Amino acid sequence: MTTIALEPTPARSTSSPTSSPASAAPTSGPCCAPLVREAADPAAAADLARSFKALGDTTRVRLLSIVAAHDGGEACVCDLTEPVGLSQPTVSHHLKILVDAGLLAREQRGKWAYYSVVPGSLDRLGALLSEAAR
């Protein structure tokens, strides 16, 4: 783990128009607390951002929830259009975004596509949020 200490910047007072930076009380030591755990690397951050972006749409959150609530944890695209009130091509577009984000898996069976939640994908997002809240 790398700790980066930044030099403090002298505080400027706005209480008096005649104050100058030289009259401000000097500070010493680092201005920020050190990191206590590893931060996300750029590749992991991009992957997580893609997942959160996919979940930034109400329809996609509903679709993910509906798929997860189906018997066996999978649903046919034909069963997903009516609950969200959108056309099949629009639902397929939203499902593709969820698949690309690694939240859903897609399996073609004949002319229908079946979707299931990728095992561990929601746990990964939940763990990240729990860790950030500590």
What pLDDT is recorded for position 42?
Answer: 82
Is domain 42-133 classified as CATH 3.40.50.720? no
What pLDDT is recorded for position 64?
Answer: 95
What pLDDT is recorded for position 51?
Answer: 87
40 strand-pairing partners: none
* Per-residue b or e along 41-57, where b marks 16 or more CB atoms closer than 10 Å to that residue's CB: eeeeeeebeebeebbee
Dist CA 15 CA 40 (whole Å): 40
**DSSP 3-state of 57:** coil
Full-prediction pTM beyond 0.85? no
**Mean pLDDT value of segment 84-111:** 95
Q: Does pLDDT of 10 surpass 60?
A: no
Q: Does pLDDT of 3 surpass 60?
A: no
Dist CA 68 CA 123 (whole Å): 13
Is the Cβ–Cβ distance between 93 and 81 less than 8 Å? no
106 strand-pairing partners: 115
**Mean pLDDT value of segment 33-40:** 75
* Per-residue b or e along 100-124, where b marks 16 or more CB atoms closer than 10 Å to that residue's CB: ebbbbbeeeeeeebbbbbeeebeee
What pLDDT is recorded for position 26?
Answer: 56
Percent of all residues in the chain with a pLDDT value above 70, rounded to a whole number:
75
